[in-house]
Structure 1
Amino acid sequence: MQQNLFVYNTLTRKKELFKPINAPHVGMYVCGPTVYSDVHLGNCRTYISFDLMFRYLTAIGYKVRYVRNVTDAGHLEGDAGDEGEDKIAKKAKLAQLEPMEIVQKYTVGFRDVMKVLNNLPPSIEPTATGHIIEQIEMVKVILEKGYAYEVDGTVYFDVEKYNKTKDYGILSGRNLDDLLNNTRTLGGQEEKHGKLDFALWIKAKPEHLMKWPSPWGVGFPGWHLECSAMSQKYLGSHFDIHGGGLDLVPTHHTNEIAQNVACCGTNPANYWVHTNMLTVNGQKMSKSLGNSFLPHELFSGENSILNKGYTPMTVRFFMLQAHYRSTLDFGNEAMEASEKGFKRLMNAFALLTDGLKASATTEVEIAPLMERCYAAMNDDFNSPVLIAELFEASRIINSVYDGKLKIDAANLEQLTVLMNTFVVDVLGLQNEQAANDDLPKVLNFIVDLRSGAKANKDYATSDKIRDGLSQIGFQLKDSKEGTTWSKA
């Protein structure tokens, strides 16, 4: 039942009718996490948003290949692509572990959080280190086509040469002169042809931990190149949707487009979709401001911002109450309101599944409400409007249950389809009992995080987690075999 879906396209800065290249098949690539630390709430917001899109596209009949990568090498501290130390290698040195131990730990942690938040797994989850050959081949082609140059084992993309025939700032909407005037001079710039040039392949220093042989010497791929190579391998040179956080537009996604056009002659995606950032009480969430907290701290309540913890399903509901392109602000009042709203919606859903009685006649028609639910999602995946319509469905359920409204069998069946489709299949919400069934997974995840803190000799965090669990009624017991939890 494919709909007239409109999607906001960052590339054109307007909503456009969604027309897949090869319907009913849809290719969607989303930039995944760099696995050097615990997944943060901004990541969770982004992946919940794309999970919503994945679910809705599937619900309306598309066959979606959803590719979300794992960056397990090559993402340097500067984020521009070729400055600073590799984030994973740096963490490995500090922890005195192999880089792949860091990768494994935080990849598992990321997937655990995604599962707890009821995100569906992507169709394919490729890693950067598993696609070194594809990246080297892509660099070769870009070099052959004249859009890159090699200097002492490092290969740079020539932005100014590219911009002579292409539009480097097509995604960000900025012209090259503005970009050049607002780019600070970085270390190592003397070997580049231009200030905006970025590394496709980087020569590894002797002490660099993660490196591979290439035609230009031992090195490692640039962060931007990784996504270009993996999206091309699994979705082709031209696919439907490319997504990520809004912060990726100016550099990472801009450089991806340049690489793909230089290599394949085409912008990789027809629709570029971006999620907005998180704020806390009106301020940007950041470690430097001391107002950032991790998912497990949100679940447990062990943070300095909120008065208490919230279940993963409440958090998911809270995030879906804001449109993915709007800023999402965390605060006590907003979270408490979401908790009440989520319980109200799921309580009504429980009444429906427990069995409402149909009447011979009806005082309500569900078809118009169903149409409005689809209309909300067809308007750029507008989950807050959808949720408002589902509260109207909840009002109808409660009125029928209280005997204040009559509904016949046909409309009751349609109401049941509506709630199952949009609450479960599209929004991905589970009732409180289902959320409670996941409690052991959440607690085991928190226990693992505490064990990691102890291993890193971060005893303050370890004690904070133990004391926090104790306050909400769970006791931890440490032994030689590990840590177990029980209800106090």
Structure 2
Amino acid sequence: MNTGLQLYNTLTRKKELFEPLNAPHVGMYVCGPTVYSDVHLGNCRTFISFDLIFRYLKYSGYKVRYVRNITDAGHLEGDRDEGDDKFAKRAKLEQLEPMEIVQKYTLGFHDVLRMFNTLPPSIEPTATGHIIEQIEMIKEIMNNGYAYESNGTIYFDVEKYSETYNYTILTNRNLEDMLANTRELGGQNEKRGRLDFALWIKAKPETLMRWASPWGEGFPGWHIECSAMSAKYLGAEFDIHGGGMDLAATHHTNEIAQSEACSHKQPAKYWMHTNMLTVNGTRMSKSAGNGFLPEQLFSGDHALLEKGFSPMTVKFFMLQAHYRSTLDFSNEALDASEKGFKRLMNALSLLDKLTPAESSDFEIDPIIDNCVKAMNDDFNSPVVIAELFEASRIINTVYDGKGKISAAELDKLKQLMQDFVYDIFGLKDEETSNIALNSVLDMVIDLRQTAKENKDYATSDKIRLGLQSMGIQLKDSKEGTTWNKA
């Protein structure tokens, strides 16, 4: 089991040696999508990052329970309990039942993540499937004196909680400044304090999604769902809680408060947050007109894109930046990632074509060690990619006959690429994995060989040059003809 892993803990704002509560078992909770609209690229980056973390923890020998929720209830337009319910608003717009909206966008979310070749979580609970657990948690928080009822809505008492606990422990903000800067909002007259937030919201006559509770019909607040579901599946205390950095200031801050007010325990030992996306240096957002959906990125159907990029190219692009770093999208950066990804896949396609020698010009152990050290350093995927390019250089050198590698070192090289490219990064070759393409190329190579045997060199050259124009490079040798992407 890997015992050298260092995580950056948002809670303490420093790197810490990862020590699970119940080693070798790891509990990890990641805030999933709110399924009232299409998944956006910021979501994708978060889930690709935590897929990497999930995969590496398993590779390191841990038994991981990865819980990622689906928010399908209780999400208002504002973090401070103002505005319309997003599910009801989308349902009215599309003239569907709210749960039809949930099903539609949940399936879309899963489809996108499958294109990125992410692993499914161990458990994927929904907010609507855990109403009872949320009500029971609210009752316990009220019994402990940290929540109150006002006209059928239950509010969390932030100032009362702050007398015992540190409400801003995750962000290190000043509570007095927060109170002074909180603007007046509708419903504030029901609250005792400006920072108080809803645990349970009284249903309006037009509310479509509602449930019975001790306080009347209503629906849960956004924050309580994650506290209830993480406690149910991982316990009052667990190892890792993650999500996008935009969740830290409000959602995760309130999760900590709710959980401590209920169980008197800090829920997660390590808090991890992915950074934001920018486009040409500007923060990605719908209002700025520079936000695009994954499908638009794949097809190139957006004014800011010069062409489409494959899911694996986009995933590789994301992995080339550390998960805590800002990731800037541009056509130039995506082009560079596309070339780099093809270069890596080209090298991988040559691995099985290498012939081992009795001695070796290369040692693979230092590359393996560097990859493990990089991943142990808060999952530093960019450094790993640099090492994988060094491994690719070795593959190409041996394939070109400019170096030799022993059977033992070749086995290590194959295992390195299997472990880090496929098992940990979750990448796959989108072209050579296409069986139909391989079969067609084999047939074309056979036709060319027949033409050469018949001394029909014009046809032979036409086939070779035609494939070359499509990015397929043929290489003739005594053993026959092989191909790779040029």
TM-score, normalised with respect to structure 2: 0.89
Is the contact between residue 245 and residue 274 of structure 1 (CA under 8 Å) also seen in structure 2?
yes
DSSP 3-state at the match of 1:168: coil
**Counterparts of 2:353 and 2:421, CA distance in 1:** 17
DSSP 3-state at the match of 2:313: helix
Find the counterpart in structure 2 of residue 24 from structure 1: 24
Find the counterpart in structure 1 of residue 345 from structure 2: 346
Find the counterpart in structure 2 of residue 178 from structure 1: 177
CA deviations over 1:337-396 (Å, ceiling 9, x no partner): 0000000001101111x3311110111111111000000100000001110010001011
Find the counterpart in structure 1 of residue 366 from structure 2: 368
Is the contact between residue 211 and residue 219 of structure 1 (CA under 8 Å) also seen in structure 2?
yes
Q: Does 1:385 align with 2:390?
A: no
1:384-403 aligned at under 5 Å gives the runs 384-403=382-401
**Counterparts of 1:27 and 1:438, CA distance in 2:** 41
Find the counterpart in structure 2 of residue 466 from structure 1: none
Find the counterpart in structure 1 of residue 447 from structure 2: none
Is the contact between residue 346 and residue 432 of structure 1 (CA under 8 Å) also seen in structure 2?
no
Amino acid at match of 1:422: F
Q: Does 1:151 align with 2:157?
A: no
DSSP 3-state at the match of 2:431: helix
Is the contact between residue 260 and residue 267 of structure 1 (CA under 8 Å) also seen in structure 2?
yes
1:103-142 aligned at under 5 Å gives the runs 103-142=102-141
**Counterparts of 2:52 and 2:436, CA distance in 1:** 20
**Counterparts of 2:212 and 2:132, CA distance in 1:** 10
Amino acid at match of 1:282: G
Amino acid at match of 1:41: L
Amino acid at match of 2:177: D
1:270-419 aligned at under 5 Å gives the runs 270-352=269-351, 354-419=352-417
**Counterparts of 1:438 and 1:263, CA distance in 2:** 57
Find the counterpart in structure 1 of residue 2 from structure 2: 2
Amino acid at match of 2:391: A
**Counterparts of 1:271 and 1:102, CA distance in 2:** 34
**Counterparts of 1:183 and 1:278, CA distance in 2:** 27
Question: CA 1:322/1:150 → structure 2, altered by over 3 Å: closer, same or farther?
Answer: same
1:8-47 aligned at under 5 Å gives the runs 8-47=8-47
Amino acid at match of 1:127: T
**Counterparts of 2:227 and 2:310, CA distance in 1:** 36
1:430-441 aligned at under 5 Å gives the runs 430-433=428-431, 436=434
Find the counterpart in structure 2 of residue 72 from structure 1: 72
Question: CA 1:307/1:435 → structure 2, altered by over 3 Å: closer, same or farther?
Answer: farther
CA deviations over 1:15-62 (Å, ceiling 9, x no partner): 100001111110000000000111001100110000000000011111
**Counterparts of 1:334 and 1:115, CA distance in 2:** 24
**Counterparts of 2:418 and 2:292, CA distance in 1:** 33
DSSP 3-state at the match of 1:29: strand
- Unpaired segments ≥5 residues, structure 2: 438-486
Amino acid at match of 2:67: V
**Counterparts of 2:67 and 2:286, CA distance in 1:** 30
Question: CA 1:155/1:437 → structure 2, altered by over 3 Å: closer, same or farther?
Answer: farther
- Unpaired segments ≥5 residues, structure 1: 440-488
**Counterparts of 2:221 and 2:229, CA distance in 1:** 13
Paired residues, what number?
437
CA deviations over 1:189-244 (Å, ceiling 9, x no partner): 01101000000001010110000000001000000000000000000000000000
Q: Does 1:202 align with 2:234?
A: no
**Counterparts of 1:281 and 1:72, CA distance in 2:** 33
CA deviations over 1:233-283 (Å, ceiling 9, x no partner): 000000000000000000000000000000011111000000000000000
**Counterparts of 1:61 and 1:382, CA distance in 2:** 19
Amino acid at match of 1:133: I
Find the counterpart in structure 2 of residue 55 from structure 1: 55
DSSP 3-state at the match of 1:433: coil
Question: CA 1:424/1:66 → structure 2, altered by over 3 Å: closer, same or farther?
Answer: same
**Counterparts of 2:138 and 2:426, CA distance in 1:** 40
Find the counterpart in structure 1 of residue 484 from structure 2: none
CA deviations over 1:104-156 (Å, ceiling 9, x no partner): 00000000000011010000000000000000000000000000000111000
Is the contact between residue 38 and residue 106 of structure 1 (CA under 8 Å) also seen in structure 2?
yes
Is the contact between residue 322 and residue 380 of structure 2 (CA under 8 Å) also seen in structure 1?
yes
**Counterparts of 2:58 and 2:434, CA distance in 1:** 27
Share of identical aligned residues, percent? 72
Amino acid at match of 2:28: M
Q: Does 1:251 align with 2:270?
A: no
For residue 182 of structure 1, report the CA deviation from its aligned partner: 2.0
Amino acid at match of 2:112: V
**Counterparts of 1:185 and 1:242, CA distance in 2:** 31
**Counterparts of 1:292 and 1:424, CA distance in 2:** 29
Is the contact between residue 48 and residue 316 of structure 1 (CA under 8 Å) also seen in structure 2?
yes
Give structure 1 regions of 4+ aligned residues with deviation exceeding 2 angstroms: 432-439
CA deviations over 1:399-444 (Å, ceiling 9, x no partner): 11111111111111011110000000011000133665799xxxxx
Is the contact between residue 237 and residue 268 of structure 1 (CA under 8 Å) also seen in structure 2?
yes
Amino acid at match of 1:388: A
Amino acid at match of 1:271: Y
Question: CA 1:434/1:182 → structure 2, altered by over 3 Å: closer, same or farther?
Answer: farther
**Counterparts of 1:434 and 1:54, CA distance in 2:** 26
DSSP 3-state at the match of 1:240: strand
**Counterparts of 2:27 and 2:291, CA distance in 1:** 33
Flag the structure with larger Rg.
2
**Counterparts of 1:436 and 1:408, CA distance in 2:** 31
**Counterparts of 2:436 and 2:281, CA distance in 1:** 32
